[in-house]
Amino acid sequence: MNGSDKRADLRWVTAVRALDSLHRATAWLRCASLAVLWASLAWTPALARTHSVLALLLVTAGTVLSVLHAYPEARARLEEASERLPGLYRLFDHLDGTRGRASFNLPGLAEGFGMAVMGLALVGPFGPHGPGASVMIVQLSAVMMFVTLVFINIVCDAGYYAPPQYVKVGNDRSMGAADRRLVLLRRLIPVGALLIAGGLFVPGWTVSLTAVPRAARVCVVLGAGAVAVVWWSFDRVLDAAVTTAVDIERVVRDEACRDLHSMSKTGVAMAVEAEQSDHYERAEVRGLLRDALVRIEEMRLDWLDPGRGPGGTVGTLWDAVLCVMGNELRERCTLEPGCASLALPSTDYQLARRVLSDLVANAVRAGAAKVTVNVCIGRTLNAQRETALIQITVADDGPGMNADALGRNSSLVVLNRDLDRYQGRIKFAARESGGTRVDAHWSSRQPAEEWPTRTDIPKGE
């Protein structure tokens, strides 16, 4: 898919979602126009009232259907309340199938023919005799308001922005570009609306219409020009929105590429440097590569849920650690409830990444069928100030503690050296029920009073 196609996709889906709100607003405005017309019948002579009521029935039915079309949740409630009306299901399926497509639908046809009947039989050439000039001005204005809103909905239909190919963005699907005849009709609407309204309402077809000053009738008719203004304005706003979305997407892609390149390059370079060192330790290289994989997975999770800041939660870190393991191994590992919401500053978060990835990987590789992880935070005095103490416990039901757990062939010897810089260490103990319990702890460089607000630090050891 090339750039122009992608831009067309964004243009269409932006139009669909923006016009959902527009159609809801215009549906209620059309209802208000009809309410004015129905209320004006109270000042219509009794002999002409039946004629006027008949002129409004079809357009009123079309408007009610349009409101249902604009509110899927209202349709859902009606479906639940009328399970024995299969015709209603077919009608609602028809309404659902026209969303985001330029096509004829039942509400549009009812409103279209209803407008013609209303214009001809209420305020046009076949309008009733008797309403005074003030009533006629109100009716004429309400009719033109209604007509203009309907035509705005037609020319701003999202289906006209759909690209030729099939498009799926989120839950929105496009079935291809609009029919050429509909595109031609769309272009004719602004001029056609002015000509038709002028032909119906400017000449003095009836005594009631003649009672309205011609200048007032011309001004009301010119209001139909709002169709072209709204159409032009919507296209400009749509272009700006799509351009902004494309620019933001480009920035995000550039940043993601830089982050991925930097992360991968750093991780691999450290592993290569360790492998070429005179003091080469295979366990150290293995730990560095595992840490790089977890970092990349964290980056992926951060792209999906941005804004986590320089640190992160234990839950996010746990998800990253599990994602670099196979499904079978992943199912053996459990994080104690309540730990996932704990937040760690940047440095402590990076240490926790090393500790979790190493200890959990070692436990499952040793054959443990169940690995339980607990993270807790306490307080300790360090250089006459109170600091946070982070402790991670990994308990497993494996074959027991390896005699060389902190020997030269273990990656934990490197990790233990890192923790020692933060007044921490790793301790092993055999469990009475079988298996091993590993405790890793260290003191945070960040004062306890500056700890992330999401963490409730209890008074501890």
pLDDT, tens only, 2-46: 444 568 888 888 888 888 888 889 999 999 999 999 999 998 888
DSSP for 345-394? -HHHHHHHHHHHHHHHHHHHHTT-S-EEEEEEEEEEEETTEEEEEEEEEE
CB 366 within 8 Å of CB 329? no
- Which amino acid, 99? R
Structure tokens at 181: 């005849």
CB 331 within 8 Å of CB 364? no
The sign one gets for the Cα dihedral 268, 360, 310, 389 is: negative
Say which residues have a Cβ less than 8 Å from residue 161's Cβ, sequence separation at least 6.
8, 11, 12, 15, 238
Structure tokens at 124: 């046009």
Alpha-carbon span 372 to 289, nearest angstrom: 24
Tens of pLDDT along 218-244? 999 998 999 999 999 999 999 998 888
Structure tokens at 358: 């190493």
Residue 401 is predicted with a pLDDT of 65
Alpha-carbon span 108 to 153, nearest angstrom: 9
User: Residue 147: pLDDT band by 50, 70, 90 thresholds?
Assistant: very high
Residue 332 is predicted with a pLDDT of 87
Most confident of 63-72, 259-268, 341-350: 63-72
Query: Helix or strand or coil: residue 125?
Result: coil
> pTM for this structure?
0.61
Residue 120 is predicted with a pLDDT of 92
Greater confidence (191 vs 280) lies with 191
Percent above pLDDT 90 for the chain = 23
Query: Helix or strand or coil: residue 404?
Result: coil
Residue 411 is predicted with a pLDDT of 65
